[in-house]
């Protein structure tokens, strides 16, 4: 069996190989020791050089899309050396291995709208320095698969949004006539940058959302939507990714028009238009815009009776609070800048949702659902607990002393409420005792119809009268 022996000669400062075939080759070439040594060193060095080269090099592929509000970049990195990936389940570390630079986008300030100097972006960093004008959105993510040779394939989805406060603006790409955005990607500190040119997408989404219909919550309205959305059809007939939802709440007294735009799929020169809203009909589509072609509502509306906001796909929900209980609002919800708005009339609630009462972190707080002692005796969802919450909000919180009492109560009463829930006799006693004040609050709320100030004054008078009666009784004793 033929054997090879690799070694390094300290004396001659070069690597050597002993192999019978090499000796035969060297003998044919020169037949002397010097010839054999030259051939052996040559073969050895080439072998070591080949051994130091990875069997498969990393391959980086960049695709993406430039929308009107964000830049979606997908980066696929295959055959990643496992020594570079210490923990593939640590998405934060994997995200920080990727760096993205943009060109031909606004860098803020005059003359920087078509800045050819790259603007770097790194995830999970404050909006300053290299992230001053654009930054990675929270919806950015990374996933991985493992190959047979233990290398990894990484798939990045980065959503890059402009920081408008500092002058980042994707729309300025269109204003200056630049129709592309240059994306340069660097992985794991490599000196090699992969460059990809992305065309600006002028088409707008033309698809309805699959959000749940908006519902009334305590003095507000809540909209819940899917946190992942597949690409949807655009106004140009092609599919496109979406990154944001939009929600508008229109007061029933609104009689004006909303701001909108007509879509220009080819050059992005969307023209302004006006849209009317039918606030008196509960129809799926209550919006009508002037002009021919596809039109969309702007998220920013400068109207006193219209509330509007956008929120990311990843967040999945949004709400408006502080609304009037006696009004039915028209809610318009859609993908941001979509030409397919959806409408629903919703009336805010006075009571709390079960999820509010449970103090869930998954929903925005429509009010403060805490009522420890009453919940421990009568139950979290009972009408007695709702009555006490109403009394807290209308009789105590409007006044400084009342707010101080509520704050003290929340700091101190929870341990007592926990004890009450485990003591049947005490719980029964408190159950009966709490019915009397609840009945008084109920009468004040539902029968007398007084304002919060009037109710507070009445309670103060009743309390003073009770205190005087007790004091007079003590004097007689």
pLDDT digit string (tens) for 127-140? Answer: 555 666 777 776 67
Tracing tokens 């404050």 back to the chain, one arrives at: 126
Q: What's the pLDDT tens digit per position in 410-459?
A: 778 878 888 887 888 888 888 888 888 888 887 776 655 555 666 667 67
Positive or negative CA dihedral for 10, 14, 17, 21? negative
The per-residue pLDDT for 65 is 77
Per-residue pLDDT at 274 exceeds 90: yes
Cβ atoms of residues 376 and 368 within 8 Å? no
Of all residues in the chain, what percent carry a pLDDT higher than 70?
A: 69
Q: What is the pLDDT of residue 361?
A: 38
Domain spans, the chain = 5-51, 59-199, 215-226+241-346, 370-474
Half-sphere exposure of 400 (CA within 13 A, CB side): 0
Among positive and negative, which fits the CA dihedral 127, 130, 133, 136?
negative
In angstroms, the CA 252 to CA 278 distance is: 9
Check residues 195 and 123 and name the one with the higher pLDDT: 195
Is 79 in contact with 57 (CB distance < 8 Å)? yes
107 vs 339, which has greater pLDDT?
339
Position 115 pLDDT exceeds 50: no
Q: How confident is the model at residue 88 (pLDDT cuts 50, 70, 90)?
A: confident
Residue the block writes with tokens 């660097």: 186
pLDDT digits (tens, 9 = 90+) for 24-80: 444 444 445 555 566 556 555 555 444 444 445 688 888 887 776 778 888 899 988
Q: What is the distance in angstroms between the CA of the first residue and the CA of the last residue of the chain? A: 120
Q: What is the dihedral of CA 326, 249, 215, 70, to 10 degrees?
A: -160
| pLDDT at residue 279 is higher than 70 | yes
Greatest mean pLDDT among 48-57, 301-310, 389-398, 466-475: 301-310
Check whether 121 has a pLDDT greater than 60: no
Task: Pick 18 or 423 by higher pLDDT.
Answer: 423
The whole-angstrom separation of Cα 298 and Cα 260 is 5
Dihedral class, residue 111 (left if φ above 0, else alpha if ψ from -120 to 50, else beta): left
Q: Quick count: other Cβ atoms within 10 Å of Cβ 443?
A: 10
Provide the whole-model pTM: 0.50
Higher-confidence residue of 135 and 107: namely 135
198/102 Cα distance (integer angstroms): 10
Is the pLDDT higher at 68 or at 150?
A: 150
């Amino acid at each position: 069996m033929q054997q090879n022996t690799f070694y390094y000669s300290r004396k001659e400062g070069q690597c050597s190989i002993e192999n019978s075939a090499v000796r035969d080759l060297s003998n044919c070439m020169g037949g002397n020791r010097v010839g054999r040594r030259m051939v052996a060193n040559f073969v050895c060095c080439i072998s070591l050089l080949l051994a130091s080269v990875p069997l498969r090099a990393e391959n980086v592929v960049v695709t993406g899309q430039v929308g009107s509000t964000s830049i979606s970049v997908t980066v696929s990195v295959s055959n990643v050396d496992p020594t570079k990936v210490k923990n593939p389940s640590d998405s934060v570390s994997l995200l920080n291995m990727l760096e993205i630079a943009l060109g031909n986008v606004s860098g803020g300030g005059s003359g920087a709208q078509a800045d050819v100097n790259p603007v770097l972006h790194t995830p999970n960093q404050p909006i300053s320095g290299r992230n001053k004008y654009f930054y990675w959105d929270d919806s950015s993510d990374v996933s991985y698969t493992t190959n047979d040779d233990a290398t990894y394939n990484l798939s990045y989805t980065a959503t890059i949004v402009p920081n408008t406060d500092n002058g980042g603006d994707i729309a300025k790409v269109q204003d200056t006539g630049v129709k592309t955005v240059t994306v340069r990607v660097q992985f794991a500190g490599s000196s090699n940058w992969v460059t990809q040119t992305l065309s600006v997408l002028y088409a707008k989404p033309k698809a309805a959302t699959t959000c749940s219909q908006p519902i009334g919550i305590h003095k507000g309205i809540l909209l819940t939507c899917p946190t992942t959305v597949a690409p949807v059809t655009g106004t140009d007939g092609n599919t496109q990714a979406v990154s944001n939802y939009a929600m508008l709440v229109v007061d029933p007294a609104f009689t004006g028009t909303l701001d909108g735009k007509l879509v220009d799929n080819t050059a992005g020169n969307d023209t302004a238009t006006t849209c009317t809203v039918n606030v008196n009909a509960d129809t799926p589509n209550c919006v009508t815009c002037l002009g021919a072609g596809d039109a969309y509502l702007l998220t920013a509306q400068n109207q006193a009776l219209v509330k509007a906001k956008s929120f990311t796909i990843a967040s999945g929900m949004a709400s408006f609070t502080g609304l009037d209980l006696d009004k039915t609002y028209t809610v318009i919800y859609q993908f941001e800048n979509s030409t397919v708005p959806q409408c629903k009339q919703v009336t805010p609630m006075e009571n709390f949702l079960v999820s509010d009462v449970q103090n869930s972190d998954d929903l925005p707080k429509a009010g403060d659902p805490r009522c420890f002692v009453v919940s421990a005796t009568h139950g979290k969802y009972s009408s007695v607990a709702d009555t006490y919450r109403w009394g807290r909000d209308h009789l105590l919180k409007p006044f400084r002393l009342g707010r101080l009492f509520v704050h003290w109560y929340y700091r101190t009463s929870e341990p007592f409420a926990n004890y009450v829930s485990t003591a049947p006799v005490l719980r029964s006693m408190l159950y009966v005792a709490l019915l009397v004040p609840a009945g008084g609050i109920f009468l004040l709320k539902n029968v007398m119809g007084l304002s919060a100030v009037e109710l507070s004054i009445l309670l103060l008078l009743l309390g003073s009268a009770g205190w005087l009666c007790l004091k007079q009784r003590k004097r007689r004793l």
